[in-house]
Amino acid sequence: MKLALIGLPKSGKTTIFNALTRSEHNTDKYGQVATEANIGVVQVADERITRLSELYKPKKTIYATIEYHDYPGIFAKEGDTADNAMLSEIKSAEAFAIVLRGFADEELDSIYDSGDPLAQLTRLEEEMMLNDLIIAEKRLEKIELGYKRGIKTPAILSEDKALHEICAQLQNNLPLRSLQLSPDEEKAVRGFQFFSAKPLLILINCSEDNLRAWDEVLNKLHDRGYKAYTIAGKFEEELSKLDTEEAEMFMADMGMTESIRDRLTHWSYQLIGYISFFTVGADEVRAWTLESGANAVAAAGKIHSDLARGFIRAECFKYDDIMAHGSEKILKEKGLFKLEGKEYVVKDGDIISIRFNV
């Protein structure tokens, strides 16, 4: 999964990125605004993979990963046009974590308007919607020109219809996230990767000693349909530099039960609606991510497109069952080893082997 950290300059994106990836990128308050993204890959801690690996003793054990992209601040000032190449790179992420500055800093207030996270969010959302609107309108103009030259296919008509709905939504100041398109329309405009259609995680970056002070703001955000959380970026960055035992002591003091890595993993899986399924064997025990509700063919496609194309059946058993009984042989005897067809909806914790023929 690719998750983009975005927000206004100096909101604490790199600080949080450092905490997540245990790196030491520059977070100097007076430093130049970065021009390139920092990229880091974080393993998704999953005890089930650890235990499956103990059972199967494979040559390789592969956890799922999240790729974090820490982008330079965008939309700092009204009418600010960020570099288009960077914007399209940002939009290729599966979801955004928007970092809002909640920590007090008068200097930053004076440069970037306001320390009010809700105001920051509004400005980011407005800029994203404006960006989407410009792209949609430009495309509509091109489609019109095409009509004059006789280019009118069913796909273009779907796109045209979708883009009109999209423009209407944006002109009403509503993000595309809340617009329901038909499957055909959705497909026709998928390639645009509209900003305001992406799943959003809101992180209010604040001081570790007033996390609760944000409850009311969080409630407001939840009421408006956002998934929003507080994060003490600087504190987390310092924690990430300690050894495990020391870090756990500090976390216990703060009543924190999970590391920032694990929290962000859960939040982003929840946000996108991801589940995990596993493949096991003597060569490799591996975790895969799948959209909740997806079927066995989609799962096969995650592993390799050949497996989806030549799909015959999925051999399937449950993580809990293999842990309870200890061997696939016993699962077969007990009828817990199933053969599933294309339409089978894969569940979190399924262990799958694809039979295929290409």
Ligand X SMILES: Nc1nc2c(ncn2[C@@H]2O[C@H](COP(=O)(O)OP(=O)(O)O)[C@@H](O)[C@H]2O)c(=O)[nH]1
- Give the residues lining the site for Mg ion (CB under 5 A): 13-14, 34
Give the C-alpha separation, 77 to 74, whole Å: 9
- Closest CB to ligand X among 99 and 280? 99
Q: Is 12 in the site for ligand X (CB under 6 A)?
A: yes
Tokens of 251: 């976390």
What is the closest distance, in whole angstroms, from the C-beta atom of residue 31 to ligand X in the complex? 7
- Residue 97: count of CB within 10 angstroms of its CB: 29
Residues 103 to 162 in contact with ligand X, rule: CB under 6 A: 103
- DSSP at 197: G
10 interacts with ligand X by CB under 6 A = yes
Q: Which among ligand X, Mg ion, none contacts residue 349 (Cβ within 5 to 8 A by kind)?
A: none
Question: Cβ contacts of residue 89 below 8 Å, gap of 6+?
Answer: 37, 69, 71
x-marked contacts with ligand X along 61-80 as a string, rule CB under 6 A: ------------x-------
- Residue closer to Mg ion, measured from CB, 34 or 86: 34
Alpha helices per DSSP H over 149-243: 154-171, 183-189, 215-223, 233-240
Contact 45, 268 (CB under 8 A): no
User: Which of Mg ion, ligand X, none binds 12 (CB below 5-8 Å, type-dependent)?
Assistant: ligand X
Question: Residue 273: left (phi > 0), alpha (psi -120 to 50), or beta?
Answer: left
How far apart, in whole angstroms, are the C-alpha atoms of residue 311 and residue 301? 9
Minimum CB separation of residue 49 from ligand X in Å reads: 31
100 backbone dihedrals φ, ψ, rounded to 5°: -110, 135
- Tell me how far, at minimum, the Cβ of 81 lies from Mg ion, in Å: 19
> Letter for the amino acid at 329?
K
Considering CB distances under 5 to 8 angstroms, the limit depending on partner class, which of ligand X, Mg ion, none binds residue 268?
none
- Should residue 205 be labelled a site residue for ligand X when binding is judged by CB under 6 A? yes
CB 87 within 8 A of CB 310: no
Q: Are 14 and 34 in contact (CB under 8 A)?
A: yes
Least CB distance to Mg ion at residue 226 (A): 22
| 310 near ligand X, rule: CB under 6 A | no
Minimum CB distance to ligand X, residue 123 (Å) = 15
Nearest residue (CB) to ligand X, 205 versus 265? 205
Of the candidates 4, 6, 14, 195, which one interacts with ligand X according to CB under 6 A? 14
Spatial CB neighbours of 210, under 8 Å, sequence gap ≥ 6: none
Stretch that binds ligand X, among 2-10, 76-84, 133-141, 256-264 (CB under 6 A): 2-10
- Does 301 bind ligand X (CB under 6 A)? Our answer is no
Other beta carbons within 10 Å of 94? 17
Please tell me the count of residues contacting ligand X according to CB under 6 A. 17
Any contact of residue 193 with ligand X (CB under 6 A)?
A: no
Element (H, E) at 39: strand 38-43
DSSP 29: T
**Extended beta strands in 292-347, E state:** 311-318, 338-340
Could you tell me the two tokens for 262? Answer: 């694990």
Q: With binding defined as CB under 6 A, does residue 9 bind ligand X?
A: yes
Measure the CA dihedral 306/307/308/310, to 10°.
80
Let me know: does 66 contact 46? Beta carbons within 8 Å.
Answer: no
Q: Residue 17 or 192: which CB sits closer to ligand X?
A: 17
**Residue 23 within binding range of ligand X, rule CB under 6 A:** no
Please choose which of Mg ion, ligand X, none residue 233 contacts, taking the beta carbon within 5 to 8 angstroms, the exact cut-off set by kind.
ligand X
Closer to ligand X by CB, 117 or 301: give it: 117
For the bound state, the minimum distance from the C-beta of residue 71 to ligand X, rounded and expressed in Å, comes to 9
Q: Is residue 207 involved in binding ligand X (CB under 6 A)? A: yes
**Region near ligand X per CB under 6 A, out of 39-47, 125-133, 175-183, 228-236:** 228-236
**Secondary structure E strands in 172-298:** 200-205, 227-231, 274-279, 284-291
Minimum distance from residue 132 beta carbon to ligand X (Å):
23
Residues of the shown chain interacting with ligand X in the complex, contacts defined by CB under 6 A = 7, 9-15, 27, 29, 73, 103, 205, 207, 232-234
